[in-house]
Structures are given as C-alpha cells and as structure tokens.
Structure 1
Amino acid sequence: MSLIPPNPVGDEVLVEEDNICTREHCFRSFDALYCALTSHRPLTPRFPDEKYPLFVTWNTRSSRPGRAPRLRGCIGTFEPIPLREGLAEYALISAFQDSRFSKIEERELESLECGISLLTDFEDASSYLDWTIGVHGIRISFPHPSLLPVAPPSPGDAPSPLSSSASVPTRGRLKHSFSATYLPQVAPEQGWDKIETVDSAIRKAGWNGRITEDIRRSVKLRRYQSRKCTVGWEEFVQWRLENGGKM
C-alpha cells in the first residue's frame, strides 16, 4: 500500500537519529533515481537489509539563500519492507508516480535533495487528540459519516474528545471509509494544533462535507514516530565517486 502525504518533508539539516536512518539510505534512493534517468549501473548497498515502513521524499532546493526546499514528490508504505529494494523502489515511485507532480527529469537532478523517513513506534491512540505535535505522525481512518449512529442529545457540555473510543463506530457492514496520514514534521511545519492537523487529515482523506465533533470522535488514530535523514545532490555525487561509481 502506497500513501502520499501532501506536505514538504525535507529540511536543510542532515539528521541521523539512533543510526536507524542514515546517509547510506538516502544515497541508495538517490542512486536508484540517478541510474533510472541516466542508464548508469547502481552501486551495491552496504547497509543491513532490515525491514521498515518508509517514505521517500524528493525536494527541490531553491537557488535563493534562505528559501525552504519545495516538495517534488513523496510516497511511502506502512508495510515493513526490506530496505535495500524498498528504498530503490519507492525512490522511483515517488519520483515518477506522485500524481500531484510531473515526473522528475534528468535536468532536475542537480537541484534535488532526498529525504528518507523510517517509521517506528506504532501505537493505537485512545482518541484523536492522543498524540504529541512534533513527536508523532498520525494515520487516521474513519467511516463515512452517514454510517455513524445517531446519538440522542445529552444535557450539559459536549463530551470531551479525550473520552472518545479508538474504535470506529459503524452501523452494520462498513461500506465506505476514509484514511490519510501526516508525517511527524508536518504539523509543526504548518503551525497547526492537533485539531487543525486532524481536520486537515480528514480533508486530505477525501471528506468534503462539514467536519463535526462526531466525525472527529469517529476517527481511529494510530500514532507513530519517524527517523529521518536528508542529503543533497552534491553529497550524493561525492559518495558515488568515492565508491567507484561513474557520473
């Protein structure tokens, strides 16, 4: 299953957390794209072939100082897959099959940076607010609002969303459901609070009607964390030449 988050992922700072996500992972994806566009032979990866859910992000770096990179493609999977083939596969999927963008072309290579996110620490949240901005990514699913049971009015204040169930309420067999995800960095990058993030994810999932508290409370939310690393074209070129590759 492939998923497309709608916001930029990369940043200008190279990050390697706990040696889970490393520059070698980024180079593997960059190598796959470079070789696909130039017919060169990819180098053999040297990192352990562990399994992780992952996202590969392509950004275009601005030639103007201080400008943030612009998203050029980002697709991933929540299925744990072997990294050696998975990083190469999703490098090309995100470069050529992200429906929001045209296919990346060879002339763009020098302006690109590659960001890898390896997803970890998946947990079922107790409600749509049971996660931490800047720490957790969110993966939401919810039924079509027409399938929600009609609750009788209750006196007093509306129930707290923190008391809502993590299970998705349905009436009979679920006929239509929605799902979406945001990586951990999206909410802080956009300046969103939790409700704004969840509401945006609901929209991203394809619901265009009014977002009510009942819809929010029907959301089943699974939170996760991400280990990230980002490299630019210059770093990739240096790595490829140092390891005997041709340019």
Structure 2
Amino acid sequence: MIGKYSLSDGKILIKLAREAIKSEYDKKKVDVPVDAKFKQARGVFVTLNSYPKKELRGCIGLPYPSMSVRDAVVHAAKSAAFDDSRFSVLKREELDKVVIEISILTQPEDTNSKNIKVGVDGLIGEYHGYSGLLLPQVATENSFDKIEFLECLCHKCGVQGDAWQNPNFDLKKFQCQIFSEKTPKGDVEER
C-alpha cells in the first residue's frame, strides 16, 4: 500500500478524530498534526462503535483523495458523530462510550467480480445514478462470501441484489489500512 502509516501515526490520527468530535462540543478549533506525511491526500472513513457492545454508532468518510489525511479525518469524524442520518447526533456523554476506527483507503480502481478478495478489498458500486460503498471489514465482520458481499453492496446502493451482474454496474475496489481503539481513549491497534 502506498504511503503506509505506522502504528504511532495511527494513534495520532485516532486522537485527532476524538479531538475533532470533542471540538464540536467545546466550540474550539482542532489542532491538526503538521507532519508532511499527514498532508498526503487519501480517502478516509471514520467509524464509531459503541463500547463494549461494538454496535455501529456512525460511519462516514470520503472514498476519494479529495483532501489531506488529517483534514479528511477531522471531517469524517465530525460527520460520523453528527451527520450520519442512520443515527441520532452523538451526545457529549456518549463520546467516552465509543471506540473510533479509521480506515485509510487506497485509490479506488475499476474491477470486476472475479478480481475481488473478500476481507481485503472494499467495494464501490454505481448503477443508474445510485451508489454505495462497503469497507473491507464489513465482509469479515458479517462472514460474507463474495456473492453476499456484492449483494450487500447493491442493497447499499439502493438497487436489487443482483444488479452487480449487469454490465452497466460500475464496480471499483480499494484496500484499507485500519487503525482501531480497543477501548474508548485506550490502546490502538492496526487491524
């Protein structure tokens, strides 16, 4: 993976995500890391899971490298906490009860169903103006096989589960480097 980050870098980015969310409550500016490695443009997703149940609490990101990693982490963290329409806004008292996961994406590339590695590749699907994205860990966490992963992607796009078989279905894949807290504000691991 191009521009792989160290575990130390992952810890910095997780802390940045948590501080970005906290800054919204405190109405303060976020201090972003100035290291050149965090200025590289990459796709980024931030996922919030309740702790200890690990239930999804928010997940939003930018699939394409439209801003620096540090700015993308800040944007995605705030969006996951406050703008994910599937959930109510994250309350201040909930912040210490969620674990944060950051997925740093490679550039999405065109692919077909034969070239997908379940658990390694994330997917982006586009079909007749509808689109959806699934991170690679979704397949692993749900024990999906390739067909189930593709069907889930179609449902995420809002289309029929077999739409991926249509030649007009645009399929892209990407990989992620994933950093995750083990406990809220606790140790960080690379998954």
Could you say which TM-score interval applies, normalised by the shorter chain? 0.7 to 0.9
1:199 aligns with 2:151: yes
1:32 aligns with 2:17: no
1:187 aligns with 2:175: no
Corresponding residue for residue 138 of structure 1: 123
SS of alignment partner, residue 101 of structure 2: strand
1:92-107 matched pairs, under 5 angstroms: 92-107=78-93
How far 1:220 moved relative to its partner? 2.1
- Equivalent residues, number: 179
Structure 1: how far apart are the matches of 2:165 and 2:76? 36
1:54 aligns with 2:44: yes
Corresponding residue for residue 222 of structure 1: 172
Unaligned ranges ≥5, structure 2: none
Corresponding residue for residue 71 of structure 2: 85
Structure 1: how far apart are the matches of 2:70 and 2:163? 43
Conserved? CA contact 1:38–1:106, under 8 Å: no
1:74 aligns with 2:24: no
1:208-247 matched pairs, under 5 angstroms: 208=160, 211=162, 214-215=165-166, 217-231=167-181, 232-235=183-186
Supply the RMSD in Å over aligned alpha carbons.
2.3
Structure 2: how far apart are the matches of 1:224 and 1:24? 23
How far 1:207 moved relative to its partner? 1.5
> 1:117-140 deviations in whole A, cap 9, x for unaligned?
110153321x22321011111111
Structure 1: how far apart are the matches of 2:147 and 2:22? 40
Structure 2: how far apart are the matches of 1:132 and 1:189? 15
The alpha-carbon distance between structure 1 residues 141 and 27, as it changes in their structure 2 partners (threshold 3 A), is same
SS of alignment partner, residue 233 of structure 1: coil
Structure 2: how far apart are the matches of 1:28 and 1:91? 9
SS of alignment partner, residue 116 of structure 2: coil
Larger Rg: 1
Structure 2: how far apart are the matches of 1:229 and 1:196? 25
Amino acid of the structure 1 residue aligned with 2:40: E
Unaligned ranges ≥5, structure 1: 1-16, 144-176, 237-247
How far 1:23 moved relative to its partner? 1.1
1:117 equivalent among 98, 103, 116? 103
Conserved? CA contact 1:141–1:180, under 8 Å: yes
How far 1:36 moved relative to its partner? 1.2
Q: Percent identity?
A: 27
SS of alignment partner, residue 57 of structure 1: strand
* Structure number having the greater helix percentage: 2
Amino acid of the structure 2 residue aligned with 1:181: L
TM-score by length of 1: 0.65
TM-score by length of 2: 0.83
